[in-house]
Chain A
């Protein structure tokens, strides 16, 4: 069967994503740990997280029981068979569920009926996009419900009575909106987390682009100087709020902020915020477009520069 390596490779991608936190996320957590006071609850939380990360990787078991919304971001050569990819990936998801790498996490919206294998209308999610390379870039993201629930979308201008400020249609207004989202989340999105932000777009594309920003390596730098400064300011300011790991108080509230800008309608100005918990699970492989064999793994190094196709 021509799809056999694809099935095995996607299954392995899912296993690694669920059980082995990427080096850039681990490094960000360790950097945060170094800032917490000895004997603090914040440090206790981060130490427990560190232990858990190691146990999950050693035992090949899920880092978090909420293995989240499964999404595949696929960049492929023109002519690549995405219909087969989708079917094979769904089979791999079902297999990963039966092996316990994934929780039974897909339920009918109204009845709550669990499909039992993570397959159903709208799950898992796929984003296919053709590119000019001969290889297939497959990224898998597992994003849990706790952090998904604290995501937000703001339509500017907007008043924030609890903060006593107005957010206008400018970079200062965007700053207010993003900081509000981080504050509102407190520990409920499993801080310390990451935010992906999209300024502009429409409601749907804005949240999609915000989530896609979470694919960026934690340590990368936005190619736009203004947005790079914005990202650093959000992280610094958020870490001054004292929310801390799990909302216990402390120095480490936000480990990363990644921002992109999209054109908007003159009438709309959305700021979309996608929050990722500390267990920020995304991994990737580059496949040979002809054989589906793995050429290399992505997210193997904290300083990695990832190939194009994912706008920053």
Chain B
């Protein structure tokens, strides 16, 4: 399995070339967004100026961030930044992929049929990071460029992260293939055999 290097924003061509099972390394800008952001955007909330979701990669992550200074002198250090469970965004994700042209969703645990279909229709992929590995991913973050929607609280804000060689695995591709659906089905058969 070759490792594919990706730079954000992603093109449809680059995303369509990916297959479930591929390893990728992502560099460039990445936006965090989790429960509050997904609900807000799906409910018609405005995308903040300075956030461009077209071709973007959204990271289901609520980082631990230490803040220093005030006003223009504010600076941020990311202390931990692993993925959160993505399935909670299943009601919203497909709509946001279609509406804003998201090309990559990073999280853990995989997502469902609606998101898989949106990935197929619009050309997007689900990228799996290793849950709990907060230090490995924090190390890939070169800097914090900005933060939006802070009123949602630190873990729920949109953090604009500049990353280098952020590793992930394509587990849902734009051709209808989902490793999560495969494992769920195989493990169900195995479980039936245990009774």
Q: Which residues of A contact B (CB under 8 A)?
A: 41, 44-45, 48-49, 51-52, 55-56, 59, 61-67, 100, 102-105, 107, 112-114, 116, 144-146, 149, 162-165, 176, 179-180, 183, 186-190, 237, 240-244, 246-249, 277-279
- Least Cβ distance of B115 to chain A in Å? 14
Shortest beta-carbon distance from A246 to chain B in Å: 6
Number of A-B contacts (CB under 8 A): 172
Chain A residues within an 8 Å CB radius of B21: 41
Q: Which chain A residues border B139 with CB–CB below 8 Å? A: 55
Give the distance in Å from the alpha carbon of A180 to the alpha carbon of B184 in the complex. 12
Q: A55-B135, A65-B138, A112-B156 are in contact. List 18 more A-B contacts (CB 8 A).
A: A48-B133, A48-B136, A64-B133, A103-B154, A104-B153, A114-B155, A149-B88, A163-B188, A187-B108, A187-B109, A187-B183, A189-B85, A237-B194, A240-B190, A241-B190, A241-B191, A242-B187, A277-B131
Cα of A79 to Cα of B61 in the assembled complex, Å: 44
Instruction: From B84, B134, B191, give the contact of A56 (CB < 8 A).
Output: B134
Alpha-carbon distance A230/B179, docked complex (angstroms) = 31
Residue of A nearest to B66 (CB): A100
Contacts A112-B156, A242-B183 known; A279 to B132 CB distance under 8 Å?
yes
Q: How large is the interface on B (under 10, 10 to 19, 20 to 34, 35 or more residues)?
A: 35 or more
B104 CB within 8 Å of chain A: no
Chain A residue at minimum C-beta to C-beta distance from B135 = A55
A148 to chain B, nearest CB (A): 10
Closest to B152 in A: A112
Q: B residues within 8 A CB of A100?
A: 64, 66, 77, 79-80
Contacts A65-B62, A65-B81, A242-B186: A114 and B154 contacting too (C-beta < 8 A)? yes
Check if A114 sits within 8 Å of B153, measured CB to CB: yes
* B109 and A61 within 8 A (CB): no
B130 located at the interface, meaning its Cβ lies under 8 Å from any Cβ of chain A in the complex: yes
Binding site for A on B (CB under 8 A): 21, 36, 61-64, 66, 77, 79-82, 84-85, 87-88, 108-110, 128, 130-136, 138-139, 152-156, 167, 169, 171, 179-180, 182-184, 186-188, 190-192, 194-195
The answer to whether A64 touches B180, judged by C-beta atoms less than 8 angstroms apart, is no
Chain A residues contacting B152 (CB-CB under 8 Å) are: 112, 114
Q: Cβ of A44: which chain B residues have Cβ within 8 Å of it?
A: 169
CB–CB A249/B186 < 8 A: yes
Q: What are 5 A-B pairs with beta-carbon distances under 8 A?
A: A114-B154, A146-B85, A246-B131, A249-B182, A277-B131
| 5 residue pairs, one from A and one from B, having the closest CB atoms | A114-B153, A188-B109, A55-B135, A65-B80, A190-B131
A279 partner residues in chain B, CB cutoff 8 A: 132
Q: In this complex, what residue of B is CB-closest to A164?
A: B192
B180 and A186 contacting across the interface, CB-CB below 8 Å: yes
Closest CB of chain B to A186's CB: distance in Å? 6
Contact A163 B191 (CB under 8 A): yes
- Docked pose: A54 CA to B80 CA in angstroms: 14
A66 to B85, CA, bound (A): 11
| Contact between A183 and B188, CB atoms less than 8 A apart | yes
CA A240 to CA B192, docked complex, whole Å? 12
Interface centre among A64, A67, A100, A246 (most CB of B within 10 A): A246
Smallest Cβ distance from A233 to chain B, in angstroms?
10
Given contacts A112-B152, A188-B85, contact A65 B134 (CB under 8 A): yes
A54 to chain B, nearest CB (A): 9
- CA A298 to CA B36, docked complex, whole Å: 38
Instruction: Let me know if A103 and B155 touch, CB within 8 A.
Output: yes
Contact A186 B184 (CB under 8 A): yes
Which of chain B's residues has its CB closest to A114's CB? B153
Shortest Cβ gap from A110 to chain B (Å): 13
Would you call B195 and A186 a contact (CB within 8 A)?
Answer: no
Chain B residues with CB below 8 A from A242, complex form? 183, 186-187, 190
The answer to whether A61 and B191 have CB atoms under 8 Å apart is: no
With the chains together, A188 CA to B60 CA distance in Å? 13
A187–B85 Cα gap in the complex (Å)?
9
Query: Known: A62-B80, A112-B152, A248-B183. Is A179-B169 also a contact (CB below 8 A)?
Result: no
Contact in complex: B153, A179 (CB < 8 Å): no
Q: Which residues of A contact B194 (CB under 8 A)?
A: 179, 237, 240-241
The answer for the CA separation of A144 and B82 in the assembled complex, in Å, is 12
